Chain A
Amino acid sequence: MLFPTLAFGVFFLFVYFVSWSLDRENERRKLFLLLASWFFYAQWDWRFVGLLILSALLNWGVAALIARSDASGRRKALVAVGVTINLIILGFFKYYGFFVEQAGDLLARFGWERDLPLLQVVLPVGISFFTFQGISYVVDVYRRTTPPARSLLDVMLLLAFFPHLVAGPIVRASDLLPQFERVPRLTREMAAHGLLLIVWGLFKKTVIASELAVRLVDPVFFDPSAHGAADIALATYAYAVQIYCDFSAYSDMAIGLAALLGYSFPRNFDQPYRASSLQDFWRRWHISLSSWLRDYLYAPLGGGRKGLVRSCLNVFITMLLGGLWHGAAWTFIAWGALHGGAQVIERLGRSALKGARLIPAWLGVIVTFHIVCLGWILFRAESFDMAMEMLVGLGRWQALAVATPLTVGLIVAGLGMHALPPRLIEGVAMRLREANSLLLGALVAAAFLLVEALRPDGVAPFIYFQF
């Protein structure tokens, strides 16, 4: 059940009205939201609801044991067990096939061909997100930065809450558990903000991302050798816009849906193509993942506390593993290495120049954007060969064949939205809270209708569902 579908719209209306009818009975309300979330997840594969429940039980149990223990050694052992269990779940479903295949290739090179136990493991939707949430919960309880949940119900809902379940944002226990402990309240600001984010997300996903994918990105990436430099360059820019509009749309809709149910999620995007460095980019792109990697991987590795060389190594390892998190393929690892390598160069440059600026900020934005686009070629291509074909094609002159005025206009619009005031939607929501409810309802309906009229038939799954 995808967000931009009629089935989801009906489902959400039902959840919205029933949940607010239970607003005086918080425990029952949470139970209802949990059942609704399981139903939502079961639409992909009902068997994996069991995995969600198992993951919640394990994380709740380990965190409870950590909280009850005062012995430092025991706490460390428990947190190691908790993190390992989460990684085993993630590793089995997501990386088993990849690593067995790589092991088979490696053995074959040494002349030891073996029949390795290859399994066709179905990847549960959103597994990377809920296992990372589980890890953060256990580690936060261990670090005493968040108290353990008061009930198993809270942990189950934390992991399964349907707005963030399949593609984030990665909402941490410290963000959501305190909100579960009290009866939520829906203010006019939250409602107006939520509705605006849903409409805006729907527009970005179904109009900009879908149109660019169907009309430009997919045809060019399918066969780069058949296209010239202009089409390939525009398809690369289009993919940069597509992936931003696709993923940020999901985050916007998730935040908006949660707001309508009375819960607040953290921001996940902050106009990433305005970044003037790769470090800045990762403070604006998928913020919940980059801050997760910072707190649970980069910092435990030593962060920047152990000198320049060690901090460079740590940031490179973090980005490399961040690339692997996105998918079990060498192209994703190369993508992570590109971002890690670029950040290492930035760090060394900053250290050598002692904070002096080598290029003006606007040039930094352009350079950063093009490094990011280079990364997107690796991210989107199905193999290194195809990525190389894209890069080789950039030197081949040929008239425009696939790009049209509409697709170019959508690219400009997608990049142009980064020039809007950073908190525009919040500002509009503040003004709309004073509006008459019927007038605002009509405005929202008109916006939905406009999106419905522009969008193509059907809707492709969100790109980040596969992660």
Chain B
Amino acid sequence: MSHAPNDPSDPVDPFPAPPQDSPFPPLGREFETLAARDGAPLPAREPAREGSDAAAAAAAAAPAPPIPAPAQPDPVPDAPPGVEAPERRNALIAFGRFAFPPGPAPEDADLAARDQRWASRVVLCAAVLMLVFNAAAIQNWSRQQPPGWTTSTVQQLSDVWSAQLAQLGADRPRRAVNELWTALAALRFPGQDEPEQGSGQAS
């Protein structure tokens, strides 16, 4: 498994190792070094001003630091075209150090949480409104259950709940639509007999 330079060698250690010394020359010499290696002519230096201090002259006369040898070509051959390099995985995750994989990026996680809250509000709002305007459903359900302490308790509670909401008129929308539907169901083609009793009555 390949490691990035700062990856810990021991995967149990979660902290990165201290950075190593830079293999590159100091920043001021970088340009010259690169140009010398490539064999390009150096730009003309600005002539030294007269009376420059001795320290600067000494620095110019001092031998330049050794230029690092050009990097050897990589002995590992390139992958043939069309072959993708294997995906590099974080060593910590690969070794299962964390109980759960990391969550999405913070922005993404915030967005996901916001979407989830939005969806939960929709579901909750619909459920509460159904509880108010469709109270008869609980009553019907509780009446269809086999008798017992729980079902009789639910039935009594739903009876009270339905009666109270009916006084406020919360059952009117459902009843009005139901009556309209029942009237539609009772329609017959000209000359057709009346419907038989008990066949497919709407609630």
* Interface positions of A (Cβ within 8 A of B): 5-7, 13, 16-17, 20, 23-26, 182-183, 185-188, 190-192, 195, 211, 214-215, 219, 260, 399-401, 403-406, 409, 437-438, 440-442, 444-446, 448-450, 452-457
Mind listing 28 A-B residue pairs with CB under 8 Å? A16-B120, A24-B100, A185-B115, A188-B118, A188-B119, A191-B118, A192-B122, A215-B185, A260-B119, A403-B189, A404-B187, A404-B188, A405-B187, A442-B125, A442-B126, A444-B122, A445-B125, A445-B126, A445-B130, A448-B126, A449-B130, A449-B133, A449-B134, A452-B137, A453-B175, A454-B177, A455-B203, A456-B200
Cα separation A441 to B127 with both chains bound (whole Å): 8
Contact (Cβ within 8 A) B119 A186: yes
The count of A-to-B residue pairs whose CB atoms sit within 8 angstroms is: 136
Interface bits B189-203 vs A (CB < 8 Å: 1, else 0)? 101110100011111
Cα separation A406 to B189 with both chains bound (whole Å): 10
| Range for the number of chain B residues in contact with chain A | 35 or more
Contact (Cβ within 8 A) B100 A453: no
B17 within 8 A of A: no
* Chain B positions 112-152 with a Cβ under 8 Å from a chain A Cβ: 112, 115-116, 118-127, 129-130, 133-134, 137-138, 140-141
B129 CB to nearest chain A CB (Å) = 4
B173 within 8 A of A: yes
* Interface positions of B (Cβ within 8 A of A): 100-101, 103-104, 112, 115-116, 118-127, 129-130, 133-134, 137-138, 140-141, 173-175, 177-178, 181, 184-185, 187-189, 191-193, 195, 199-203
Cα separation A275 to B101 with both chains bound (whole Å): 46
Cα separation A219 to B122 with both chains bound (whole Å): 41
In the bound complex, residues from chain B placing their C-beta under 8 Å from that of A6 are 137-138, 141
Contact (Cβ within 8 A) A441 B192: no
Going nearest first, the 8 A-B pairs with the smallest beta carbon separation are A441-B125, A191-B119, A445-B129, A214-B200, A453-B177, A437-B121, A444-B126, A445-B126
Contact (Cβ within 8 A) B177 A20: no
Contact (Cβ within 8 A) B201 A457: yes
In the bound complex, residues from chain A placing their C-beta under 8 Å from that of B177 are 449-450, 453-454
Contact (Cβ within 8 A) A441 B100: no
Cα separation A440 to B121 with both chains bound (whole Å): 9
B169 CB to nearest chain A CB (Å) = 14
Cα separation A191 to B28 with both chains bound (whole Å): 59
Contact partner, B115, options A16, A191, A211, A400, Cβ 8 Å:
A191
Contact (Cβ within 8 A) B118 A437: yes
B122, B130, B178 — most chain A CB neighbours (10 Å): B122
A404/B189 contact (C-beta < 8 A), A6-B137, A452-B137, A456-B201 known: yes
Chain B residue at minimal CB-CB distance from A399: B191
New A-B contacts (8) at CB < 8 Å, excluding given A192-B122, A449-B174: A6-B141, A188-B115, A190-B119, A214-B199, A440-B122, A442-B125, A442-B126, A445-B126
Contact (Cβ within 8 A) A404 B192: yes
Contact (Cβ within 8 A) B130 A20: no
A215/B115 contact (C-beta < 8 A), A24-B103, A444-B122 known: no
Contact (Cβ within 8 A) A457 B122: no
Contact (Cβ within 8 A) B125 A437: yes
B123, B173, B185 — most chain A CB neighbours (10 Å): B123
In the bound complex, residues from chain B placing their C-beta under 8 Å from that of A186 are 112, 115-116, 119
Cα separation A219 to B187 with both chains bound (whole Å): 18
Cα separation A442 to B200 with both chains bound (whole Å): 30
Cα separation A183 to B104 with both chains bound (whole Å): 10
A219/B199 contact (C-beta < 8 A), A6-B137, A442-B125 known: yes
Cα separation A215 to B187 with both chains bound (whole Å): 13
In the bound complex, residues from chain A placing their C-beta under 8 Å from that of B195 are 404
Cα separation A7 to B120 with both chains bound (whole Å): 20
Cα separation A461 to B170 with both chains bound (whole Å): 30
Cα separation A16 to B127 with both chains bound (whole Å): 12
B48 CB to nearest chain A CB (Å) = 65
Cα separation A462 to B202 with both chains bound (whole Å): 19
Chain B residue at minimal CB-CB distance from A20: B116
In the bound complex, residues from chain B placing their C-beta under 8 Å from that of A455 are 202-203
Cα separation A404 to B191 with both chains bound (whole Å): 11
A237 CB to nearest chain B CB (Å) = 16
In the bound complex, residues from chain A placing their C-beta under 8 Å from that of B175 are 453
A20, A190, A191, A215 — most chain B CB neighbours (10 Å): A191
Contact partner, B125, options A24, A405, A438, A456, Cβ 8 Å:
A438
A199 CB to nearest chain B CB (Å) = 9
Contact partner, B192, options A20, A188, A399, A454, Cβ 8 Å:
A399
In the bound complex, residues from chain B placing their C-beta under 8 Å from that of A215 are 185, 199-200
Contact (Cβ within 8 A) A26 B100: yes
In the bound complex, residues from chain B placing their C-beta under 8 Å from that of A404 are 185, 187-189, 192, 195
B29 CB to nearest chain A CB (Å) = 49
A153 CB to nearest chain B CB (Å) = 15
In the bound complex, residues from chain A placing their C-beta under 8 Å from that of B138 are 6
Cα separation A296 to B119 with both chains bound (whole Å): 38
Contact (Cβ within 8 A) A405 B189: yes
B145 CB to nearest chain A CB (Å) = 9
Cα separation A5 to B137 with both chains bound (whole Å): 9
Cα separation A442 to B138 with both chains bound (whole Å): 19
Cα separation A209 to B137 with both chains bound (whole Å): 20
In the bound complex, residues from chain A placing their C-beta under 8 Å from that of B200 are 211, 214-215, 456
A404 CB to nearest chain B CB (Å) = 6
Contact (Cβ within 8 A) A195 B122: yes
Cα separation A298 to B125 with both chains bound (whole Å): 48
Contact (Cβ within 8 A) A456 B118: no
A453/B174 contact (C-beta < 8 A), A13-B127, A16-B123 known: yes
In the bound complex, residues from chain A placing their C-beta under 8 Å from that of B188 are 404-405
A23, A187, A437 — most chain B CB neighbours (10 Å): A437
Contact (Cβ within 8 A) B187 A406: yes
Cα separation A215 to B173 with both chains bound (whole Å): 25
B184 CB to nearest chain A CB (Å) = 5
B124, B188, B189, B200 — most chain A CB neighbours (10 Å): B200
Cα separation A260 to B122 with both chains bound (whole Å): 11
Contact (Cβ within 8 A) A452 B122: no
